[in-house]
Amino acid sequence: MKRHNSVHIAIKAKIALLYRRDFAEMLYSFFTNWIRSAGRDVSTSGLAGSNKNFGFTTLGEILMKKSLLALAVLGAFAAGTAQAQTNVSIGGILQANVKNYKVSSTTRVANNELRVDDDYNSRFWLTGTEDLGGGLSALFYVENRFNTDQRQSTGSGLSTNGATGAGLADGDTFVGLKGGFGQVTFGKHSWMSVQGLTTEFMTGTNGFSAMPTSMTATYSIMNQTGLGNGGGVTAGQPQGGTLVGGFSYLDTTRRINSITYRSPVIAGFSGVVGFSPNSAGPEGTINGTTNYDDGQEYYLQAGYNNGPLALGLAYRNVEAEGRSGFDDQQLRFTGSYKFAGVKVGLIVDRAKRELVANGAVQAGANTFHRTAWSIPVSYAFGNSTILANFTKAGDRSGVADSGAKMYTIGYDYALSKRTNVGVFYSRLDNDTNGAYQPFLANTSFTGSGLQNGETASTFALGVKHTF
């Protein structure tokens, strides 16, 4: 019996050496209580030793003893793993809206669509950091997306749109290091596609409103070309642009295969540099039939945010993978100023697109440039925020009447720091040869896609919760 007692004292001593004394007491107490509940005569007087002995005389008791030892080792290992991670957290956003969506057309039958949508793309994320010492930390961010209104298996119909739909780690997802030098991460990152959202989408309580993203100028004008029905380009086009529901976009989503550096903030100034060898698909490989020519994307952003003034300038340059698809260049300015509850903003986007085939730029309707601008205004009082926006897209070069206008107005009320509700209205008017879309139209996110010259009107009731 003394041998069994010495074994348990040895177990406790080993645990105490590996971890704090109080953890060893807790672990040992758990297992002895577990054995006692099974009818065993066990007692302990702490780490100094025990007053009573217990033995194992049957096969079941011997197996129980081995289980006790195995669980003690497993518990010690699990505790060591948990202590190695200094900070892990979970958060997320859930949103849904009820819409009346109407397409106005002179060439086809169009009716009101009553919809329940989640065109924000609800999500939850896991974040973590580990202190590596000397001011250096490791970090990770994993964002998982889903739709509150759809089963993931039925999806949003974005099979040709890379990483925009729902799925595990389908949002921004990266791992890297940060320190006094700034932050370097590897994975999937949002770059140009989100530049402008904080200018037009924020409430007086400094959170995103419950407004559907299809009503924002950033997604429905700035990230698009206005070239409808794919402009004669087939789905699956590489890198330079993205087809969603048959319509051509400049940038809608995370840039995959990417590296991003974020500078430290110094007196309100900050910068971002991004690079991807192929931001919309697998990196190129030699296929034995065509000349291999690697594509790439660069992203540069400079920002200033101090007090009531926020300014940003971003540049994006894309060369199509395999030199077949679209080459894009975009320059976007964003700015806003706050005073007495009022926030006035300005967004200007200049985009140039070139259709490339077999390494050569192709002339025609798919090679053009265009300029768009937006003036968002909001007024915050108490928990309420009134939002309004006017946006205009100019004509594509060489194509008359190929622009659009968009009007948005809404009221958002913060029920708490985490929950918002609101009512919103928007109208997107395309010129005769323009086909701008409420964001992700022609998928389950929004509603029917627009053809040249058509108009979409949306009335929505929204609710958003952040956790």
Q: How far apart are CA 218 and CA 206, in angstroms?
A: 18
Q: What is the pLDDT of residue 181?
A: 97
Whether the per-residue pLDDT at 29 is higher than 70: the answer is: no
- Give yes or no for a contact between 225 and 396, defined as CB atoms under 8 angstroms apart: yes
Q: How far apart are CA 26 and CA 28, in angstroms?
A: 6
**pLDDT by residue (tens digit) across 115-161?**
999 988 899 999 999 999 999 999 999 999 988 888 775 555 444 33
pLDDT at 245: 46
What's the pLDDT band for 329 if we cut at 50, 70, 90? Answer: very high
pLDDT at position 205 is: 74
Q: Whose structure tokens read 């295969």?
A: 257
pLDDT tens digits, 396-423: 999 999 999 999 999 999 999 999 999 9
Q: Residue range 332-348: average pLDDT?
A: 97
Distance of alpha carbon 352 from alpha carbon 421, whole angstroms: 38
Which amino acid is present at 79? A
Q: What is the pLDDT of residue 120?
A: 86
Query: Is the pLDDT assigned to residue 299 strictly greater than 90?
Result: yes
What's residue 314's pLDDT? 98
| Higher pLDDT pick, 407 / 26 | 407
Tens-digit pLDDT profile for residues 217-228: 999 999 999 987
Q: What is the mean pLDDT of residues 192-216?
A: 89
- pLDDT at site 58: 35
pLDDT value at residue 253: 83
Structure tokens at 467: 């956790």
pLDDT at residue 16 greater than cutoff 60: no
According to the model, what pLDDT value does residue 203 have? 84
Contact by Cβ (8 Å): 410, 386: yes
pLDDT above 60: residue 447: yes
Residue 313, pLDDT > 90, answer: yes
- Answer whether 440's CB lies under 8 Å from 418's CB: no
Give yes or no for residue 97 having a pLDDT over 70: yes
Determine the Cα–Cα distance for residues 224 and 309; give it in Å rounded to an integer. Answer: 27
The residue that leads in pLDDT, 228 or 27, is 228
Q: Is the pLDDT of residue 343 over 90?
A: yes
Mean pLDDT of the chain: 79
> What is the number of H-type helices and E-type strands within the chain?
5, 20
Alpha-carbon span 464 to 467, nearest angstrom: 10
Q: Which residue has the higher pLDDT, 300 or 52?
A: 300
- What percentage of the chain has pLDDT greater than the value 70? 72
User: What pLDDT is stored for residue 230 in this prediction?
Assistant: 36
As a whole number, mean pLDDT of residues 292-296 equals 72
Q: pLDDT tens-digit profile of 153-200?
A: 555 544 433 335 567 898 999 999 999 999 999 999 999 999 999 999
Tens digits of residue pLDDT in 34-73: 445 444 443 333 333 333 333 333 333 433 444 444 444 4
263 CB-near residues (< 8 Å, 6+ apart): 182, 270, 271, 272
Residue with tokens 């859930």: 94
pLDDT at 110: 73
- pLDDT tens for each residue of 102-118: 999 878 887 789 999 99
**What is the model's pLDDT at position 276?**
93
Please, what is the end-to-end C-alpha distance for the chain in angstroms?
55
pLDDT at residue 378 tops 90:
yes
